[in-house]
Each structure stands twice: as structure tokens, then as C-alpha cells.
Chains A and B, each alone.
Chain A
Amino acid sequence: MSRSRDAEYTEYVAARLPSLRRLAGVLCGDWQRADDLVQATLTALYVHWGRVQAATHPDAYARAVLVREFIHERRSAWVRRVSLSGRVADSPAAAVDQDAVLDLRAAVAVLPARQRATLVLRFYCDLNVDQAAEILGCSPGTVKSQTAKALEAVRRALGPAHPATPGGQPPAAAQHQIFPGGPGHE
């Protein structure tokens, strides 16, 4: 890669780093892993810098690379072995009922990578079904079904008695657990 392309790459990724990092944080729920994910993404972007430049929407391309790295990483055997379903991300304390928020967070954390990525693309990145399908490399119908399954799984994890808004009692079923090779993981 020539020096000028190196400079262009550096300028581009430096400007996108905060947004990529936030997206990685939401996907991983853990900022250390998020940094690892962004690091891997930046490497991939360097390798495919020609494609980034040629892309109609370079930011969408970068986002797709990050999401696919995330799904790829979550498929790896090690992650499945040691994934802590109840792991709580290292973020500031919530202002409202912390138990409820933590339960919700724990419920989302144990979703299979593809389902979690689907939720993040739909509800954090605000992408429509077609855009999410393009990034995930699947059909729009699959995105819809993955979204429905993910929401259903979260509902099930929180239990029927869980309040719709923060402030209720935490469900007994949502205590921190370890799922070695947890069911539902890809």
C-alpha cells in the first residue's frame, strides 16, 4: 500500500473510530472485547482498503465488516466454551431500576451472535430490514424471523412477570449463569 493510501486509510479510520467502537461495544456488551473487535475490523479494512474506497457507502461497508467479524468471532469454539451468559458490561450505573436493566442486558447478552447483531442493526443502527439483510448476508425474511426470535428469547428470559418498564422485581430465572457451549449459540 502506498504512503498516500496509508495516510487516507489512517485519516478515514481515525474519523470513524468512535462510531465503530460504540457499535462494537453494543454488539459485545464488553468494552475490552469491543476494542479487540474494532482492532480486527481495522486490520480487515486495511487489507480490503481498495473495496472500502470503491464502495458507494464506505461507512456501511466498514459497519458490515465489523458485524461480520463479530459473528465470526462468536462462532469460534473458545467463545462458546467460556461465554458467561450473565456477564454485565462495564458501563456506568443505570439511573433507574438497576436490576431490571441488568436482567434485560443479561438476556440480550446470551442471544446468539446473529440474533444480537440483527437487533443491533435494527434498533441501534436504525437500519431497515433490507439494509440489515445486506450486511448480514441473508434474506430480508431471515432478518424478520431473527428479530422476532430474538425478541421472543428476551421475553422468555425475563419471564412473564417482568414489567414492561424498569422498576419492577427481577425475575428469579435471570440470575447470572454460566452456559458452557450454551444452547442457542451458533
Chain B
Amino acid sequence: MSEPQIRALFTEIADGEPARSQVDIQLARCRGRARLRRRRRRASVAGTSVLATAAVVVLAMVVGPVRLGSGPPAGRPAAPRQFNPLVPYLSFGWLPAGNRLLAGDARPEVVALIAGRNLNARNPWNLIVYAAGQCHPTRPARELKCSTAALEGLTAQISGRAPAVQGHRAFWAGPAPISGLPPALQHRRARASRGKADSYLLWQYARGGWAALVLPTANATKLSAAQREAYKQDAVKIANHVRYGAATPPLVFPAQLTGLPSRWRVGSVYYQPDGRLLRASRFALTTGTPDLGADGGLEYQTNLPNFGIDPATFYRNFCPTSGSEIINGYRVVVTNPVSGTLPNESLCAANADGLALQIALQGAHPPISVASLFGDHLRLLGTNPANWTTKPIG
């Protein structure tokens, strides 16, 4: 064995470099920033670390989380602690023929994609990816529980092993029984769940982070065994081709907010593919933890607004017919609908520069009213995608 042979081997390996790289500089920057933030946080809480350590030890003893099987490679990247709602993290690399991306949903703790034949399809594919620490497997019940600050989330009962997904262990699962239900309801739920024990595919996509693919079989009825098996095969293939943190079409907004309080930021986004872009269709602002639960994928915060903006051609009779007024030359309807215990404000514009727009908020003391948001803080960018922005807060 001589040095030249080793040199030749290394050169040959280097020359065999595939053109397509999965390295993502932007992702490295995001992770680097997150690591720096954690370091700063650790430094700032160093004084209380003894107490914190004791608390963690006690918690670990009390909770004692059990890992389902061995985890993913420790040397692989860890799952993000949080997602950036403005930067899509997920994309499908493969979908069954006739299926396409229908919509996406991004929040700090969880991101999701929906795929199917069309938005009205009853049984779409639903891919849900949780940030690190959002999911907790429990061995005795063989369950995986995932929840976020405002969402109860997914509770799945593991039914068996599935083929590995991108080298990670995977499991088939179904809806978990809900404890505490009256026997009659429990029985009804069990009957409804029959045959759906393998309607979820679960895997740990990165260290500390779980992903779930909800199969169309979760809501379908009257499927043959062969059809279910075909769905399962497709599920494994879809999961194996999911791309995390890779480049996707940019997420763009057809409107831009200006002059907002400095702490306001976009907390959650629901988007749809629009040509070669991903267009934000609804989004909510936040300054902290959402406290109003979920509504169709968004997490709301008291006294902060949420927006719905789509091309006006999508809708008919978008706004109430009475009580309209003119703001900045646009006809809008401001209402105070009654729901729940908190006061509501809502502004609706059926056609503002070709956009149908709704601004809503819930809370007794909003710093900025919906009328002021529309009149003083919102810049509409029209229907031409070339004018849309990736920065919803200017």
C-alpha cells in the first residue's frame, strides 16, 4: 500500500462529487443565529442555573419521557427549536400522480403542507412537521403527543413499525382513544377509528423533531385493503422525498404593513401556491405567545390583528352589504361582530386594488383599530405578483 494509491483514491472520491448539493447557506445562518441566541440566553441565566438544573432533574424524574425505539443519528442536525413563518421550511419532493401542493401553514412550533387533487378534495395528504420539543412519545400507551402553545395538536397511537424514512425509524399510527369519554362515546369513537390504525406515518425527521404524514385514509371510508396498502406505499415514498430547510419558492405578501409598533411581527401564515410563488393568503401578527387558540391554522393573540388577503376574483359577496364607508378611496365595511366574551372588530374590503381583504381582531383594547390599520398602516400591492413583497412589515 503506497501513498499514491491513497492519493488517487481520495482524488477519485472528490471527482465523483454529485452536482446537486443539499447544503443550504441560509439554513446555516438561521441555525447559527439560533445557536447564538441560545448561548446569550444561557449566559444571561447562568446565575439561576443551579435552580434550573434542579428543576430539570425533578421534572425528568417525574415525567420520565420514554423514547420509542432508538432515535435518529446524534450526529445529524437537530430539529429547529422554532420555525420562521416567513421562510417556508418544508417542501414535497414527490407526490402521487394528479396530486399537487394545495396550501401550507407555518407557525413557530409547527409547519404543515396539504396536498391533493384540489382544495375541495375531502381526503388530502397532510404533512405536519413539529419543531424540537413539541412532541412527546410515551411507551406505555405507545402514543405520540404533539401540541403547541395554542393548539391541542396531534395524538397518535402507534400501531406498528413502518419502513424507515430517510434512514430514520418510522411508525404507523392511528387516532388515539380519548380518555375520560363516556363509554357510549368511546365506543362510537373506536368504531369510527376502526381500520385507521395505520392512517398516520410518523418519523423523527431530525434530532428532537417529529413529523407526521396523515394519509387520505384517515378520513376515507369504504376503502379496500389493496387501496389502503397503495396509500401506505405512497406515504412512505412521499415521506422519503420530503425536503427540510431546502430552498422553496419565496413566500410573498400582496400587502405591506408600515408604522407598526416595533415588537409586532408575523406569527403565523397560511399560504397557497400561486404560479411560481407561495402567496400568503392569511396571516396573524404577534408579540409573544398566541392566546386565542387556533383558527384554520392561524394562532391569534388578543388585541393583535389577523389578515386575509386574496385576489378579489376568488369571491362573490365577500362583505356584508350594509354599513359601508370609504377609507382612502376604497369601499370597506367595518363591523363589530359578537362572538365569545371579547369584543371583536372586523374590516372587510371586497375589492381594494383587485384584492379582497379582511382585517380582524379580538380584544378590548387594541393599540390600533382595524380602520386605522387599513387607512394608515396598510399598503396594498395589487394583483401583479411582481409587486408583491417578502417583507410584510416594512
Q: Which residues of A contact B (CB under 8 A)?
A: 1, 6, 9-10, 13-14, 17-18, 21-23, 25-26, 29, 31-32, 35-36, 38-40, 42-47, 49, 72-74, 76-79, 81-82, 89-92, 94, 101, 104-105, 108, 119-120, 123-124, 151, 154-155, 158, 162, 164-165
Contacts and interface: CB of A to CB of B under 8 A. Distances in A.
Interface of B: 1-3, 5-7, 9-18, 21-25, 27-29, 31-33, 35-36, 39, 70-77
Contacts of A72: 75
Nearest to B13: A26
Contacts, number: 131
A124 B11 contact: yes
Contact of B28 (A13, A79, A81, A151): A13
- Dominant SS among interface residues on chain B: helix
A108 to B, nearest CB: 6
Contacts of A77: 74
Contacts of B12: 91, 94, 101
Contacts of A31: 17-18
Contacts of B71: 78
A88 B5 CA distance: 17
A36 B18 contact: no
Contact of A47 (B7, B27, B35, B73): B35
A47 B32 contact: yes
Contact of A43 (B1, B7, B32): B32
Contacts of B32: 1, 42-47, 49
A165 B150 CA distance: 65
The 9 A-B residue pairs whose C-beta atoms are closest, nearest first, are A91-B16, A46-B32, A42-B28, A73-B75, A124-B10, A78-B73, A76-B74, A76-B75, A155-B1
B31 A79 contact: no
Given A25-B17, A39-B28, A40-B77, A32 B6 contact: no
A74 B32 CA distance: 22
A74 B73 CA distance: 11
Contacts of A14: 25
A154 to B, nearest CB: 5
15 contacts: A6-B29, A10-B25, A13-B28, A25-B14, A39-B23, A42-B28, A43-B32, A46-B33, A73-B75, A79-B73, A91-B16, A92-B16, A104-B5, A120-B10, A164-B2
A10 B32 CA distance: 12
Nearest to B245: A39
A35 B13 contact: no
B14 A108 contact: no
A123 B28 contact: no
B307 to A, nearest CB: 27
Nearest to A147: B3
Contacts of B3: 123, 151
A47 B30 CA distance: 10
Nearest to B11: A124
A33 B21 CA distance: 11
Contacts of B29: 6, 9-10, 46
Contacts of A49: 32
Contacts of B70: 78, 81
A160 to B, nearest CB: 11
Contacts of B75: 36, 72-74, 76, 78-79
A15 B368 CA distance: 46
A2 B17 CA distance: 34
A1 B33 contact: yes
A89 B13 contact: yes
A4 to B, nearest CB: 13
A163 to B, nearest CB: 10
A1 B3 CA distance: 44
A36 B16 contact: no
Contacts of A13: 25, 28
Contacts of B31: 43, 46
Contacts of B16: 25, 89-92
Given A25-B17, A91-B12, 13 more contacts: A1-B33, A6-B29, A35-B21, A35-B23, A39-B77, A43-B77, A78-B73, A90-B18, A91-B17, A101-B12, A120-B10, A123-B3, A151-B1
A105 B75 CA distance: 22
B9 A104 contact: yes
A32 B376 CA distance: 50
Contacts of A6: 29
B7 A22 contact: no
B65 to A, nearest CB: 19
A78 B18 contact: no
A35 B17 CA distance: 11
A165 B6 CA distance: 11
A172 to B, nearest CB: 17
A123 B13 contact: no
Given A74-B75, A77-B74, A46 B6 contact: no
Contacts of A105: 9, 13
A21 B24 CA distance: 12
B132 to A, nearest CB: 15
